[in-house]
Amino acid sequence: MIKSLMKGFSALVLLLSMASIVNATPVDTYEFKSVDNQKRALSLAHSLRCPQCQNQNLIDSNSPVAQDLRLEVYQMVDEGKGDDEIVEFMTSRYGEFVLYKPRMEAKTYVLWLGPIALLLFGGVIGFFFIRKQRIADANNQELSSEEQQELDRLLKRDAK
Amino acid sequence: MKKLVLFIPLVVVLGMGVFLYKGLFLNPQQLDSALEGKPIPAFQLEVLEKSGETVTNETLKGKVGLLNVWATWCPSCKYEHPFLMTLARKNILPIYGINYRDDRPLAIRELSREGNPYAINIYDHDGRLGLDLGVYGAPESFLIDHKGIIRYRYAGPIDSRVWKETLYPMVQQLQAEAAKDGAS
């Protein structure tokens, strides 16, 4: 019983480790000069969009363009080029589109700041709305003389 | 005044509706080229038909031209090819071919069979020029002016409609600019 459990467990471990290997290695075989380079190149390629299959990044996509660009990124990293330089290389050819995270620029202010502005706007409206209701509630607590008479009458009736 | 305020959410929602509705009909494949307004990237490649003879970006300067990225593995290029033949016969502007990531004998055979609309054919075997041009698929075409500046990029096959509605008006404009500068 324990033996078969152990067997099952080791099979699971093997499977999981294989899965993680599959996950970590892109399809092509490229020898990086160092592990740091590899890490940087992979994270960079993850952050760039494939211009052909538009909802995949350079690592996910298997289109010829993505393969080329991936290789280009790897080589540039190994040449010691900085992230900015590589991103500039990509955007000067394929446009801002390849960036998953758009740059903060005059034309992207609406994109970046819009949600914050909307949230603030909603908050301000909500604040005034709630405050108005509270004031109205507080004012409504006193009874008019007619209401008071009605209340007295009802109380008297119930007391009988 | 107070009643008008109540209409603000309606107006905002309607505005967003119009905005998003328009978005439904945008073509996500039609990207702006980052290269419009920039010169043709520097390159030095062989002519498709004659290995040993080289073409550079300087070769393409001097005339308004159409740079067409094609390959034998690309079905849409085959669709586009007859129109390019008609266009070449009209002699409006030179068509320069970029044979993109292709096999030389195959490409030469295809042209001898189907006809060759290209004034010059650039053999971009490893796709380096394509990469510098920001090409992500074939066919893709670029309008270049007489100074060798890329003025327009069109992704997808050119047919008579695209030519008539989009490209030809631009070509006429560019040729007028060229004539003003004294070039042909």
Residue ranges covered by each domain of chain A: 31-103, 108-159
Give the pLDDT confidence score for residue A21 in this predicted structure.
Answer: 47
Domain boundaries defined on chain B: 35-180
At which residue do the structure tokens 């631009």 appear? B170
- Among B13, B29, B32, B136, the strongest candidate for a mutation testing the A interface, having the largest count of A CBs within 10 A, is B136
Does A36 have pLDDT greater than 90?
no
Q: b/e map of B109-148 (b: 16 or more CB within 10 Å)?
A: ebbeeeebbbebbbbbbebebbbbbbbbbbbbbbbbbbeb
Average pLDDT score over residue span A144-158 = 89
Is CATH 1.10.8.640 what the domain over A31-103 is classified as, yes or no? yes
Least confident of A22-36, A78-92, B88-102, B143-157: A22-36
ipTM over 0.85: no
At what angle are helices A64-78 and A35-46 packed, to 10 degrees?
140
Cβ–Cβ gap B133/A65 under 8 Å:
no
pLDDT at position B50, please?
Answer: 86
Rg (Cα) of chain A, in Å, rounded?
32
With beta carbons under 8 A apart, name residues in chain B contacting A97. Answer: 31-32
pLDDT at A142: 75
Residues of A in contact with B29 (CB under 8 A): 54
Q: What is the mean pLDDT of residues B20-42?
A: 81
Min Cα–Cα distance to chain A from B171, Å: 23
Of the pLDDT bands very low, low, confident and very high (cuts 50, 70, 90), residue B109 is very high
Q: What is the pLDDT of residues A41-58, one digit of tens each?
A: 888 888 888 888 878 888
The pLDDT of residue A24: 46
A·B CB contacts under 8 A: 38
Instruction: Indicate the residue type of B100.
Output: Y
Task: Tell me if the pTM is above 0.80.
Answer: no
- Classify the C-alpha dihedral B150-B152-B157-B161 as positive or negative: negative
> Considering only the top CATH level, what class is B35-180?
alpha beta
In the predicted structure, residue B80 carries a pLDDT above the cut 90: yes
Instruction: Please tell me what DSSP assigns to residue A106.
Output: G
